[in-house]
Structure 1
Amino acid sequence: MPPTSARRAAVEARQRVSAILLTRPARMPRASGGAAAAASTTAAAAAAVPAPVPVHVPAPASLSQPDLTATCSVCLQELNVKRVTTLRPCRHHFHESCVATWLETREYRREQTCPLCRAYVQKLVDDSGRTTMPGFPYGATGQPTYLRLGDANLMQLHELLRDTESRLARCVELLRDESKGDEYKLDLQAEKTQMEARRDTLQRLQSQQRQSRAALSPVPQVARTRSAPEPAAGEVRTTAMQLELMERRRLEALQAHHQHLFLQVMQQRAQSEAMLQQLLEMQLFQQRQQQQAHQQQQLLLQQHEAARAAAVNRIVFDLDDSFDMDDSFDTDEDDVEDTVPRRSARIAAR
């Protein structure tokens, strides 16, 4: 039998028992003579006076015991029919099964309020003084709301995952740019090799020029009177100096450009490594959060199953008790005379 059907059967059984107890008049012990007449007169007068209609009065904060003559605001029956529980902090009294059904049919925990004053219910106190927490809010579907949300709870994680993927794509582009920097480095090295070859050629030409000058030094003064070689030598020297200066400036510019590109590549690499480290830490943090959420969900489900099992056991016990009481009413009339007052006192004590 499902828990809802069992609870409904228990409530109906208790209603039948309470109706039988309230409708059957209690028999007084037999008396003789005037005592019997006085007893019959008293019983007739009591039957003639109509019973007052019980009205629920909210219990003040100073009272710790419920008024059993009042009624439950949920099922509109007297409090002495079922077990009574007290809501804290408002201290209103209801039947334990009625207020449990009322709280469990809420959709969210913040909606678990008192049926009378709408105060937020923090805990429940039964007639024996034991304190319990309100049950899980199932709503109309009979399942906790957080189990029906599905992927809606993971929306933030999905957005964070998309952001992480975009950052990873950016890192891949940076790595591709780093490979382009290697290509620039190869071009610079090839250009440097060409400049070094030109420098070697220039040095060889300068050495040949010095050798030619040394070979022409012992020439007589007549040969020096010529004006053609001197301007040619001066032009060669000036051209060589200009070429050397240009090559030096070009080499310096290439070296500066190479250093600048190398620094840019190193900075991009450091940034990409830092970004990858942050992304890895974020992924680890997400995994830990998901594991913690899964563990909390498993713990809540276990607590919920334990609470439902305890509720089912309590309902079965109440059913057994009610069925025993029904069986006791089928006995002979003398046994009923002795059993009804005792069971009425037991129910009132509950």
Structure 2
Amino acid sequence: MLVLGIETSCDETGVALYDTEQGLLADALYSQVELHAEFGGVVPELASRDHLRKLVPLVHQVMQQAQRPLSDLNAIAYTAGPGLIGALMTGSCMARALALALGIPALAVHHMEGHLLAPLLDKAPPAFPFVALLVSGGHTQLIQVEAIGRYQLLGESVDDAAGEAFDKTAKLLQLGYPGGPRLAALAQQGTPHRFAFPRPMTNRPGLDLSFSGLKTHTLTCIRELEAANTLDEQAKADVAWAFQDAVVDTLTIKCKRALKHTGYTRLVVAGGVSANLALRQRLDQLLQGMGGEVFYPALAYCTDNGAMIALAGALRLAAGEQDASPPPALRPRWPLVELNPLATSSLTS
């Protein structure tokens, strides 16, 4: 089955073509980073307009790259949430209109399920069950994954997501947009352990996380350096190292707890922050020490992309999911655990 995936949840327009027998055939991604950079963050109205401008050309590009006509499609998958409502509407309208014209199903996909399943695009995908750490700009969650569509929330951030904390801290350091990757790059130049930052909520039981207090601690540190007139470039790098180390350490501690809680030996890490090299290094060490395995998406599929949406749609189509009538509502907020489980057991082994 051939499925076209459309992702427009925020500031990246992703389109991809996935075949259940041959795998990923083609994908294209357009980032709006330059568009939003002058504002220091995503402007929802501008994001929606830019999706409208790029969607049709990207669909044509992907189909031409795969050398397949639109008439070959068996379904179109699109992100229905969570995300910016205007951005979600552009992808939904495009997908449903094209599906109607072709007489094929249009499948609403959960954005975070797309991220969770992204490692399955790899040639050596993880087997079920596993613990998933979903870590992005809007979400930080630990999920017990028994099978595709069968998810149990173990813990989540009670305030800022890890990626959001990265971006806000980068803004405090005046690193520009997008902040997270720039802070991670600056941290590589930092002096280890010059500053001691807290590891929030690690001294108490449970799997929930919190990063707002760490952000406040970082702000206090920066203000003290400014007051002493010692906030030079090296000090900024040292602050970046301390902040990143605290986030990575906190996530690692919680992942270890989640694995022990479930008894699982496999960890999947997905979402934009899963591209962070310091986090990957620490989690690699953790799982090696526990005798387990850790899986990540390819770097190209850590951030928002159409490939993960096409894959999730293809798996749900293969499991018998049909085009809902009336169409499901778009959901800016959508808990992953509210998804309907897939019925096809062959997809869960």
* TM-score, scaled to structure 1: 0.18
The structure with the largest helix share of the pair is 1
Q: Give the TM-score normalised by the residue count of structure 2.
A: 0.18
Larger Rg: 1
